[in-house]
Structure 1
Amino acid sequence: MSLYSRLNNQMNQSKHWDFSPPSPSDLGDHDVPLEGTHLQGKRIALLITGGIAAIKTPFIARALRREGADVVAFTSSEALRYVTIDSLEWSTTHPVVTKLTSAAEHLSDSSPFDAYVVAPATYNTINKMRYGIADGVITSTLASALGRMEQGKTNIMIVPTMHGSLHNAILSESLKTLHSLGVAIMPPRDAYGKHNIPHERDIVVEVCRLVSHSPLKDISILVTGGPTPVPIDNIRRLTNRFSGKLGATITEELYLRGADVHLIHGEGSYQPASYLPYQLAKTYDEYLALVLEQLSQKKYKIGIFTAAVADYKPETILPGKTPSGGQLKSLNLVPTLKVIEEVKHKFPDLYMVTFKYQEQVSHEALINIAQERIKQGYAAVVANRGEEIESVGEQVAYLVTANQPPQQMIGKKEIAVIIADHLEKILN
């Protein structure tokens, strides 16, 4: 049998189903698995207007619920050409508001909403909203929402979605006017000459930021993550096995809480989510330059340094591509500049959270190493060792500060949450 035939046979076997039922689950038919709690206790009005993108709104509703939101859908009659009442009721678990009755659904006095999200927001609805026209379910609800927003009682976000030919001067003027009033306008996904609706997760992330009351909101924070490769020649480089997922996870947690966060991510096998603000550092030298450049150009209050920074680099980078097959006679490695020391020296007011990874040391020795760094003037240290990763299957780390006992954290998500909680406490 040829190699192609064997591979094809293996692929067919991997797709084989033995007609067994699905695995049991505690989730009910309407339930969603929680991915976070950033919208826990928040009521979100999902206002759906008459564009083809309305077919995606049940997925948007469920994505909002995965962050803990309670979602109620409002639809125009045109929207129901593209999405059904049944699908929206199933995805929100609430009756859909399709018309205004004596209950005055557009006012929502008895159960106010934390945010109104217009997705998709059509040309017609945006311009009516700008001029205060209230001639239907969506526009009347928005008229009331604007009044609540002016009183500081709610938030509004619109997601413009339409064909490119509809983006004219009238639309631009309406968007600018609404923006000046305090309406959040989410940039559409630009593709094929159209303003397409963004992916569900992107919308949810912006809603989380919009309704956040975290002390971290608008606080400037620099995060670093990932490896910082050093080149051997024009092709080859030395790097490490760390992916940068932790730095990206911390960045996302801070971003969801509304922080003005920026990630410098070392190039490797992992790419952060596209909605996160980040720069890619391809080498150690580029990483160092980007960190110092960011801190020089902008007043950051906090720096979180998770990057697995190269400790050594070749004294000389070989020209071109070193021929393969031969012996590389010498590769003289020299120590790199310690980035956190450079940052601490040049930016003494920066609240620095640094990371320390060790292997073949005891837990007590690890904590002692972290405490020694605290004595050097660093605000907080996240310490972990390889042996504790292997023992539970997830990364185990300890948050070490000057005045508190070390706090254990298990898994990247928990590490990110506890660091964010710690930063909220120090800001308060």
Structure 2
Amino acid sequence: MLAEKRILLIIGGGIAAFKSLDLIRRLRERGAAVTPVLTKAGEEFVTPLSVSALAGNKVFRDLFDLTDEAEMGHIELSRSADLIVVAPATSDLMAKMAQGHANDLASTLLLATDTPVMIAPAMNVRMWEHPATQRNLATLQGDGITAVGPNEGDMACGEYGPGRMAEPLEIVAAIETAMANGPLKGKRILVTSGPTHEPIDPVRYIANRSSGAQGTALARALSALGAEVVFVTGPADVSLPEGVQVVKIETAQQMLEAVQGALPVDAAVFAAAVADWRVAQASNKKMKKDGKGLPSLEFTENPDILATISQMGEGRPDLVVGFAAETNDVIENATAKRQRKQCDWIVANDVSPETGIMGGQENAVTLISDHGADSWPRMSKTQVAKRLAEELAQALTAKG
């Protein structure tokens, strides 16, 4: 997929810069030509010699290089690539990009380009969560820039949380998606997946048996057709999909906020098994048996995410798809749910214990739409995902 593709790789300053060396190797393995740009800060972590040796190409470093700039080299560099990748994208680089600064070669290239841009953010967790960084990220995404990562984990500084640069193979997968010319190229699609965990106290929660397998398979299938996928997931049992923007949540309220933060999108698929209720007042201490009887738990309803997006009016996705996991009267209950929620499609399935579908590897679904109920044969969740992704592509193409 990347054979003869030209990647302009901008390496920012940060400990994650060492991953850029492996990224170059992985891209070249797939036939891509890599032209590296190394920032002054990036040179503190990787050397021009190592970058050049792996890329098999000259490293560009100086905006005022007399040889390169005699022919307006920064303009040519910015427009001769098929894709510009910034990895790591530091908070400083993201701020420059969002505000249109151009005071070094990297920022000037990014301002002068009409080439698609992808960033792989990497920074301290507090820097990532700072409102200024999140505003900059929203601005960049609004400008059409794609983000891959960051991941959650241990930091070089000793802290833990989101801020680790995506792994090289994750970035490669995102690049392959960006370069794909499938029917969903240029479409942005939201997928929710997995269960939600609603706390009772610090060690107990309400959940269901969803593994997240179907939503994860769907995210992969949509990405393979060229879509930019925002994947909002609860605590699932399966590996995360590669090449998509992952947003991890725990509760239904957090999922709603993440969904609203991902808008606008062309389509939204709500495959997550969201808990209908939560404890009204979760305890901040572990509840203990005290011999005085069972604790009294008061419940309240969680937000209805599918209905909220289906009925939002202005800014509503062109296609909203819900899932209905039923144990009886599957088609009747799912049809009523579609009417009640006002979504476009419902993917219904029977999750009775004897089917083995909940948490299993296979699924048997019925797609309910304005055209009626279309029952599919039982197949793997991967096959269900591919077929549903193709149906989505056809529908969005018809909508233009």
The residue that corresponds to 2:348 in the other structure is 383
Write out per-residue CA displacement over residues 47-104 of structure 1, whole angstroms, 9 at most, x where no aligned residue: 999x996576554445x4xxxxxx266899x779956xxxx9xxxxxxxxx8xxxxxx
The residue that corresponds to 2:145 in the other structure is none
1:157 matched to 2:90? no
Identity of aligned residues (%): 19
1:323 matched to 2:288? yes
Opposite residue 182 of structure 1, the aligned amino acid is D
Opposite residue 328 of structure 1, the aligned amino acid is L
Write out per-residue CA displacement over residues 137-163 of structure 1, whole angstroms, 9 at most, x where no aligned residue: xx9xx979956x6xxxxx24356689x
- Structure-2 separation of matches of 1:306 and 1:197: 27
Secondary structure of the 1:354 match is: strand
Q: Deviation of residue 299 (structure 1)?
A: 3.5
Considering only aligned residues, what root-mean-square deviation do their CA atoms show, in Å? 5.2
1:294 matched to 2:261? yes
Distance 1:59 1:209, change over 3 A: closer
Secondary structure of the 1:346 match is: coil
1:172 matched to 2:104? yes
Q: Deviation of residue 352 (structure 1)?
A: 1.4
The residue that corresponds to 2:192 in the other structure is 224
Counterpart selection for 1:426 from 383, 395, 398: 395
Q: Is the 8 A contact 1:399 1:409 kept in 2?
A: no
Counterpart selection for 1:339 from 288, 292, 305: 305
The residue that corresponds to 1:94 in the other structure is none
Q: Deviation of residue 184 (structure 1)?
A: 4.4
1:239 matched to 2:207? yes
Mind listing any 5+ residue stretches in structure 1 that lack a counterpart?
A: 1-38, 65-70, 89-97, 99-117, 150-154, 163-168
The residue that corresponds to 1:9 in the other structure is none
* Number of positions where the alignment pairs a residue of Structure 1 with one of Structure 2: 329
- Structure-1 separation of matches of 2:282 and 2:359: 40
Distance 1:227 1:132, change over 3 A: farther
Write out per-residue CA displacement over residues 184-241 of structure 1, whole angstroms, 9 at most, x where no aligned residue: 4544675879xx9963323322322432334533434332222222222344221122
Distance 1:157 1:236, change over 3 A: same
Counterparts of residues 19-38 of structure 1 (less than 5 Å)? none
Q: Is the 8 A contact 2:231 2:247 kept in 1?
A: yes
The residue that corresponds to 1:17 in the other structure is none
Opposite residue 323 of structure 1, the aligned amino acid is K
- Structure-1 separation of matches of 2:240 and 2:276: 24
Q: Is the 8 A contact 2:63 2:69 kept in 1?
A: no
Q: Is the 8 A contact 1:126 1:174 kept in 2?
A: no
Secondary structure of the 1:263 match is: strand
- Structure-1 separation of matches of 2:243 and 2:273: 23
Q: Is the 8 A contact 2:211 2:358 kept in 1?
A: no
Higher Rg? 1
Q: Deviation of residue 372 (structure 1)?
A: 4.2
Secondary structure of the 1:357 match is: strand
Distance 1:378 1:146, change over 3 A: closer
Counterparts of residues 186-335 of structure 1 (less than 5 Å)? 186-187=118-119, 190=122, 199-255=167-223, 257-267=225-235, 272=240, 276-291=244-259, 293-294=260-261, 298-318=263-283, 320-324=285-289, 326=291, 327-333=293-299, 335=301
1:414 matched to 2:383? yes
Q: Deviation of residue 353 (structure 1)?
A: 0.7
Q: Is the 8 A contact 1:214 1:424 kept in 2?
A: no
- Structure-2 separation of matches of 1:48 and 1:339: 38
The residue that corresponds to 1:370 in the other structure is 334
Opposite residue 365 of structure 2, the aligned amino acid is Y
Distance 1:427 1:81, change over 3 A: closer
1:354 matched to 2:322? yes
1:181 matched to 2:108? no
Mind listing any 5+ residue stretches in structure 2 that lack a counterpart?
A: 11-16, 37-48, 90-100, 124-155, 158-163
Write out per-residue CA displacement over residues 305-364 of structure 1, whole angstroms, 9 at most, x where no aligned residue: 1111112333553463212475534335455454323433334844211111133x4xxx
Q: Deviation of residue 416 (structure 1)?
A: 3.1
Tell me the TM-score normalised to structure 1 length: 0.57
